[in-house]
Amino acid sequence: MPKDMSQDNVADVVIVTALEKERDAVLRYLDSPEKVSSKNRTVHKAYLQHENSETGYQVVVLCLGAMGNVQSAIAVTQAIDIWNPAAIVLTGIMGGVEHSERSLGDLIVAEQIVSYESGKVKDTGTETRFQVQLPTYKMIEKARHFPDEKWVRDRRTIPRPDGQSGRGIPQVHFEVVASGEKVIADTITVPKLQSYWNKLAGVEMEGFGTALAVYQADSAPAMLMVKGICDWANPNKNNEWQVYAADVAAAYVVNFLKSKPIECLGKSRVQPKVIPTKVVSNLSGPVKFQLCQRLGDSWSDLADYLEIPEYHRRRFTKGRECQDVLEWLRERDRLHTLTGALEFINRPDLINILEG
């Protein structure tokens, strides 16, 4: 079970994602994120230290679990009410608008977020009534001057789907994003939107709801949206680039926050003192054997804590579930979270093996 944080309302930044794969990408770049519960939602919380500083942000990672602007508006409104953060950052993946200067895996930082769902239905057709929200200018400007070398070196091991690992770094584009309630995979919608917004760079489903919730909040937190291009929102749309694009966006967002783009609402926070534990980056054969021999059926408790999706668990080999859990962590560069997970399910005996 996740820790109850109903009494813990400290957060400087809330990072919002729609999908679990987007959330998992963010978690890969955070140090020992802790799963907690609040207001019937399960979120992750971590301390993110600023670069060359003793201070940092308390960060909450909120996954909507579903796409859509209604979902994001409700969840972000609740998040602002609970944590009163200094900033909301929306990240993940989006469909891009094809252009010679854009490539799959590039990033879009939204300068304008345009809702295209409202309209007037007439006999001659539907008259679209666009609504526009603006992310925070100061955040956009700081992102515009955020150097590439500050984040590309921290990229993890997610390979480019096209195998061109030698290609230059993903480019960051500051342009217009359209936000609606539909997954777009046709040849009509994007060109129609471009006829109104010639600087349109991408389409997605959570930006407008997030920006609207921020705009209407009494506390007026800053807001930024950074998403990776995973397809071209046309009939060739597929999932091939989603994990890579989500990873690029997560690397950028987390490292951007390390640069301290905003001031905390309260005093600058110093990293909480913790009892040092051994950071696990790899496991030897004997350690794996002892862990799995003793863990037994408790592997499911470990999987629950780690939020391993059910469709992944169904692929686990019967009788070797523990080994598959460890491999799942290794593939995602998350073995460092194993000590905290074992502590949470009350298995100090396994921690002793792990750190022995």
How far from 81 is each of 38, 40, 74, 75, 351, CA to CA, in Å? 12, 14, 11, 10, 37
Secondary-structure percent of the chain, ordered helix, strand, coil, rounded to 5 = 35, 25, 40
Residues 6+ apart with CB under 8 A from 173: 101, 102, 106, 107, 108, 109, 201
Segments in the chain below pLDDT 50: 1-7, 267, 273-279
Residues 6+ apart with CB under 8 A from 119: 126, 127, 128, 129
For the entire predicted model, the pTM comes to: 0.75
Kindly report, residue by residue over 227-254, the tens digit of the pLDDT: 999 999 999 999 999 999 999 999 999 9
Are 102 and 201 in contact by the 8 Å Cβ rule? The answer is yes
Which residues, listed in sequence order, are joined to residue 125 by a DSSP beta bridge? 122
Kindly report, residue by residue over 141-180, the tens digit of the pLDDT: 999 999 998 898 777 768 889 887 656 689 999 999 999 9
pLDDT above 70 covers a percentage of the chain that reads 89
Q: How many helices (H) and strands (E) does the chain have?
A: 12, 14
The pair of structure tokens assigned to 146 is 């955020």
Kindly report, residue by residue over 53-87, the tens digit of the pLDDT: 889 999 999 999 889 999 999 999 999 998 999 99
